[in-house]
């Protein structure tokens, strides 16, 4: 295994703490039985191929309506995180939102969320990314927590199924299309970061790296402008070809993601000078439960040291790392070390995070317990 050396990084101003956690999963969980009824995806196939038990959808496949936009989910997750942090929304200095599936190209969804939070004059940024987006957004936010900037709200979410054609006869979908409905769910997660020396999960390091030189994308998500005027003349086949929303090279993902995860963990441990045994919890990529389990086994991690949610939530993209972080909250002991990884197969991004749970520290950095 090739482990590459990372450049050291100045940490002084960029190690904030997470002081609030929030999430929003739309509606009731959709079970595999319901998937069979709604989408003609066989329960057994879901269990064998994906391994997830349930997921949440922003669209209603029964009524074929879109019930939640990304802004809805992100606002709800944000409100929970702000409440959990015990601050007022007005105290936020900046908001960073990451998504692969914004409600519009303009305005950015982050600004709709800012409006719904009743804010004015807050700095806002929106990151366009797939799975790696949540860690990229945390990375941007922590670098901006300098000077007078004290509090950042960071949100990740995706409404994957909004861009699928709800009018389709699902029983006639090819398996290359089926996989998108089977693998992905919708949701949002959020955290509040502070650069103050409060109790919280301290982000010590974030890595975000493009590693796709010369390699074909493992995942493409198209989105389109106006429908051509001559659309009525096009055959269904032509239309489907021209307007294919999502495309995966599932074999490439299966091949590369576990290896990249293994490398990322080694690199993060090297960066922090931590041994594998010192780490209390791992946050492995949440692709689908079968593949996540495969990664955990490959890495030889004890299952109870890993934080997983994909089996219940489905793969909801930019929300996942926040859902994992929220599940960490409450079970951490002081100085627990955490290593998380998210791999984006679209053009092969390797992202990772290291955290330490800090509690009862005085402002001079010494423990006061």
Out of 34, 52, 202, 208, point to the residue binding its own copies (CB under 8 A). Answer: 208
Residues in contact with 31: Cβ distance below 8 Å, sequence separation at least 6, in sequence order? 53, 54
Instruction: Give me the least distance between CB of 146 and its own copies, in Å please.
Output: 5
Could you say which of 38, 79, 178, 220 contacts its own copies (CB under 8 A)?
A: 220
**Residues 88-107 within binding reach of its own copies (CB under 8 A):** 93, 100-102, 104-107
* 212 is a site residue for its own copies (CB under 8 A): yes
At a CB cut-off of 8 Å and minimum separation 6, what does 323 contact? 23, 187, 189, 286, 309, 313, 316
In the block, tokens 């051509």 appear at 228
Q: Which of 185, 153, 214 is nearest to 52 (CA)?
A: 185
Alpha carbons 184 and 287: distance in angstroms, whole number: 9
* Buried residues in 104-135 as b, exposed as e (16+ CB within 10 A): eeeebbbbbbbebbebeebebbbbebbbbbbb
Cα 207 to chain centroid, rounded: 15
Q: Which of residues 109-128 bind its own copies (CB under 8 A)?
A: 111-112, 114-115, 118-128
Binding residue (CB under 8 A) for its own copies from 38, 67, 83, 243: 243
Q: Is 189 in the site for its own copies (CB under 8 A)?
A: no
DSSP secondary structure code for residue 284 in this structure:
-
User: Rule CB under 8 A: which of 28-47 touch its own copies?
Assistant: none
Q: How far is CA 109 from the centre of its chain?
A: 16
Interactions with its own copies, residue window 273-312 (CB under 8 A): none
11 binds its own copies (CB under 8 A): yes
State which of positions 143-162 bind its own copies (CB under 8 A): 143-144, 146-149, 162
Partnered with residue 357 across adjacent β-strands are 201
Q: Which of residues 160-179 bind its own copies (CB under 8 A)?
A: 162-169
- Please report how close the Cβ of residue 126 comes to its own copies at its closest, in angstroms: 4
Q: Which is nearer to its own copies, 87 or 328 (CB)?
A: 87
Tell me how many residues contact its own copies (CB under 8 A): 86
H helix or E strand, kind and range, residue 94? strand 94-99
Instruction: State in angstroms the smallest separation of the CB of 101 from its own copies.
Output: 7
Q: Using CB under 8 A, which of 32, 34, 52, 136 touches its own copies?
A: 136
Q: Hey, what's the torsion of the CAs at 96, 97, 99, 104, to 10 degrees? A: -120
Residue with smaller CB distance to its own copies, 32 or 101: 101
């Amino acid at each position: 295994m090739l482990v590459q050396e990372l450049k050291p990084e100045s940490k002084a101003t960029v190690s904030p703490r997470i002081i609030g956690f929030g999430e929003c999963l739309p509606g009731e969980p959709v079970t595999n039985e319901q998937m069979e009824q709604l989408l003609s995806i066989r329960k057994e196939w879901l269990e064998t191929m994906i391994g997830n038990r349930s997921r949440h959808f922003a669209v209603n496949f029964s009524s074929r309506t879109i019930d939640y936009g990304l802004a809805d989910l992100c606002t709800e997750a944000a409100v929970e995180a702000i409440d959990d942090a015990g601050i007022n929304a007005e105290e936020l200095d900046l908001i960073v939102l990451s998504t692969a599936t914004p409600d519009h190209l303009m305005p950015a969804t982050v600004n709709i969320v800012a409006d719904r939070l009743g804010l004015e004059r807050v700095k806002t940024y929106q990151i366009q990314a797939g799975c790696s987006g949540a860690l990229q957004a945390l990375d941007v936010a922590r670098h901006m927590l300098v000077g007078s900037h004290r509090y950042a709200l960071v949100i990740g979410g995706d409404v994957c199924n909004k861009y699928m054609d709800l009018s389709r006869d699902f029983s006639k979908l090819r398996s290359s299309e089926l996989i998108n409905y089977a693998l992905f769910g919708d949701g949002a997660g959020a955290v509040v970061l502070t650069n103050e020396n409060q109790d919280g999960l301290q982000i010590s390091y974030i890595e975000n790296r493009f590693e796709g030189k010369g390699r074909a994308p493992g995942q493409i998500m198209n989105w389109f402008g106006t429908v051509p005027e001559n659309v009525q003349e096009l055959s269904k086949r032509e239309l489907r070809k021209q307007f294919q929303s999502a495309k995966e090279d599932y074999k490439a993902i299966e091949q590369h993601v576990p290896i990249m995860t293994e490398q990322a963990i080694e690199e993060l441990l090297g960066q922090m000078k931590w041994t594998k045994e010192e780490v209390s919890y791992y946050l492995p990529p949440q692709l689908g439960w079968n593949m996540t389990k495969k990664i955990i086994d490959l890495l030889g991690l004890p299952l109870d040291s890993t934080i997983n949610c994909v089996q219940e939530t489905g793969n909801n993209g930019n929300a996942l790392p926040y859902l994992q972080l929220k599940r960490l909250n409450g079970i951490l002991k002081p100085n627990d070390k955490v290593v998380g990884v998210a791999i984006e197969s679209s053009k092969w991004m390797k992202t990772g995070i290291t955290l330490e749970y800090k509690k009862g520290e005085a402002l001079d950095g010494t423990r006061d317990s």
